[in-house]
């Protein structure tokens, strides 16, 4: 089979069902313990083979299309390592909100690694792509892996978990952007009053116990983000009032999601969220 001329790759968004920060390390990084879950909201990368170099376009004019973009960085990483002859043109169609705590950029980079590997038949396994992904960002290996996983270390130590039982997820992003750097810089990791029970959540996932999972949902970064942006608590309130078993901020925010066992409740919560005007429709 010849080398593919063009391919299309999906980049899936993630939410954190649980996010704990264990400590701040000497190097300034934070040691985390979190449960990650991919959801069916995705960006798309259209990749075409060219004569040489990397060119990139995107549907959002404010995103860089050079080495400051993680997609470009990921493509370059593999093409340099394997001295790929020929080039690639990548069009990134974004649907995952930017700076939303849903790993959009990391997932795009992961999709670029998968796409380049496939297009130029580099023969790398998923594990080998994950090892390279960590050079681009801590969430990239998980975004290559996908599914339900426990992430430890700075997010790069991953343990695959069974899938979460069937449920509905409603996601809302308020019209604010939150800098991950700001949130971590203002987190007092060593004096947190509360730590979510991540081990208990993992045990519930292994048992397939949805209530056990939702009862233990928690995110220590809310201590920073909610203080600065009260809209996050308001959105969680609306989701719970309308039947969400639980609601949480994802990542460093400001995206909020609710878990529902009933699609009718999820629809009602969606309408209530629209009426409150707290989140814009994607």
- Residues identified as active-site: 14, 139
Strand partners, 24: 30
Nearest to 3 by CA among 50, 73, 55: 50
Omega cis (within 30) before 12: no
* Sheet of strand 246-249, all strands in order from the earlier edge strand to the far edge: 168-172, 256-260, 246-249
CA angle, corner 229, sides to 225 and 234, nearest 5?
110
Task: List CB contacts of 37: < 8 A, sequence separation 6 or more.
Answer: 14, 15, 16, 17, 147, 148, 164
Nearest to 132 by CA among 109, 99, 163, 153: 109
Question: Distance (Å, rounded) from C-alpha 245 to C-alpha 241?
Answer: 10
Q: Is 261 helix (H, G, I), strand (E, B) or coil?
A: coil
Decide if 231 contacts 255 (C-beta within 8 A).
no
Question: Distance (Å, rounded) from C-alpha 161 to C-alpha 206?
Answer: 7
């Amino acid at each position: 089979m010849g080398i593919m001329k063009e391919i299309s790759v999906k980049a899936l968004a993630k939410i954190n069902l649980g996010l704990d920060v264990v400590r701040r390390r000497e190097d300034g990084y934070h040691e985390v313990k979190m449960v990650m879950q991919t959801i069916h909201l995705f960006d798309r990368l259209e990749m075409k083979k060219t004569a040489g170099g990397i060119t990139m376009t995107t549907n959002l004019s404010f995103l860089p299309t050079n080495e400051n973009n993680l997609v470009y960085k990921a493509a370059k990483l593999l093409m340099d390592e394997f001295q790929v002859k020929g080039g690639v043109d990548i069009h990134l169609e974004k649907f995952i909100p930017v700076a939303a705590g849903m790993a959009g950029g990391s997932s795009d980079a992961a999709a670029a690694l998968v796409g380049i590997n496939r297009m130029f038949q580099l023969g790398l396994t998923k594990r080998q792509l994950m090892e390279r992904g960590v050079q681009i960002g801590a969430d990239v290996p998980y975004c290559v892996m996908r599914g339900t996983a426990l992430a430890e270390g700075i997010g790069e130590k991953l343990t695959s978990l069974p899938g979460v039982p069937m449920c509905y997820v409603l996601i809302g992003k308020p019209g604010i952007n939150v800098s991950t750097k700001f949130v971590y810089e203002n987190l007092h990791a060593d004096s947190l009053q509360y730590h979510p029970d991540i081990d208990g959540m993992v045990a519930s996932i292994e048992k397939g116990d949805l209530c056990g999972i939702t009862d233990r949902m928690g995110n220590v970064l809310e201590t920073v983000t909610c203080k600065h942006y009260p809209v996050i608590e308001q959105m969680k309130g609306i989701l719970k009032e309308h039947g969400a078993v639980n609601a949480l901020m994802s990542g460093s925010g400001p995206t909020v999601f609710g878990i529902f066992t009933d699609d009718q409740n999820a629809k009602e919560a969606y309408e209530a969220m629209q009426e409150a005007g707290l989140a814009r429709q994607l």
